[in-house]
Amino acid sequence: MIQALWKNRNVVTFHYLLSLLSALAVAIPFYRTLLLETGHTLALNSLIADFDFMIFMDALRAFSEVLRPYLLRVLLLAAIAALGTTFFSGGFTDAVLQNKFRMQRFLIQSGRYWGRMLILAIVTGLLALICTALAVFISVLAKGLTDEPDHRMALLRHVPAVLFFLLGQGFLFLVWDYARVILVGTTEKSVSGAFTGAIRTVTHSFRPALLFISLLLAVLAGLGLYLLTDKLIRSAAGVIVIVLVQQVYIYYRTFLRLLHLKLAAGQVQNLTRF
C-alpha cells in the first residue's frame, strides 16, 4: 500500500500544496500586521534562532489590541479553509482509492460528494464538540471532588478527562476517515449508512485502532527527528534551510495522512463489497 501511494504521489503533492496555501493565507497577513505594528523591528528575529514561548506570548499580549481584528480574519479564513477541505475530501478519497490522480476526475468527484461530506463533517464536528464538553465537565467535576495542595498531584485528577478527550477524538477521527472511504468506495451512498458502517468497521476489531496508532507513532517519530535536525542545523544553516527541513516533514506527514485512507479502504473491504 505504501508503494502504491508513492506511485500516486501526485495526490500527496497536491494535498500538501493546498495545505501550504491555506497556511500562507493565514501566516502572511499575520506577519505583515505584526511587522507593521512593531515598526519593522528585528527584536522578534531571536525567535527564529531559538524559539521562546514566553517571549512569543509576551509579544501577543503587547499587541493584543492590534491583533484582535486580525483574529476575526483568522476565524474567517479557517472557516473557508475548512469548507475547502470538505469540498476536496471526496476528490482526495477517490484519488487514493483509485491509485491515480487526474485533475478533471478529482474536481468532478469533489463536487459529487461535497454535500454528503459536508453533512458528515458537521455531524462529526458536533460529536467532537460534545466530546470536548464532556471532557471539560469531567475535569471540573474531578477538581470539585478533590482538594490536593500538591500541584503535581493535582494534575493527576485531570488524567481521566484527558484520556476521555484523546480516546473520543481519536475514535471520531477514525469514523470520519472510514465513513469517507465507505461513501466513495462502496455502494453505500447515504451519510447515515456510511457513518454507521464506519462505526461497525472501527469497532469490529482492534486492527483499525492499531493501524492508526502505528501511523501516529510514525508521525511523532518524524516530528522528533525533525526537531532534532532543526536544533542541529539552526546554528549553521540559514532560515531557508530550516524552512525546507520543515516542509519535508510536513510532506511526510501528509503522505501518512493519505496512507491512513488507503489502509482504511483495506479494512472496509473485509466487511463490505467495493
SS (H, E, C) 41-84: CCHHHHHHHCCCHHHHHHHHHHCHHHHHHHHHHHHHHHHHHHHH
The segment with the largest mean pLDDT, out of 37-46, 74-83, 205-214, 239-248, is 205-214
> 203 near 175, Cβ under 8 Å?
no
Cα 45 from chain centre: 28
> 116 near 191, Cβ under 8 Å?
yes
Using one digit for the tens of pLDDT, what is the confidence trace for 138-162? Answer: 888 877 666 655 566 667 778 888 9
pLDDT band at 274 (very low <50, low <70, confident <90, very high): very low
- Looking from the CA of 51 toward its CB, the CA atoms found within 13 Å total 6
Nearest to 179 by CA among 116, 131, 127: 116
For residue 230, the model assigns a pLDDT of: 74
> 96 near 258, Cβ under 8 Å?
yes
Reading the block at residue 270, the C-alpha cell is: 473485509
Look at residue 13 and tell me whether its pLDDT is greater than 70: yes
Look at residue 135 and tell me whether its pLDDT is greater than 60: yes
pTM: 0.82
Using one digit for the tens of pLDDT, what is the confidence trace for 54-108? Answer: 555 665 666 666 666 667 777 777 788 788 888 999 999 999 998 889 999 999 9
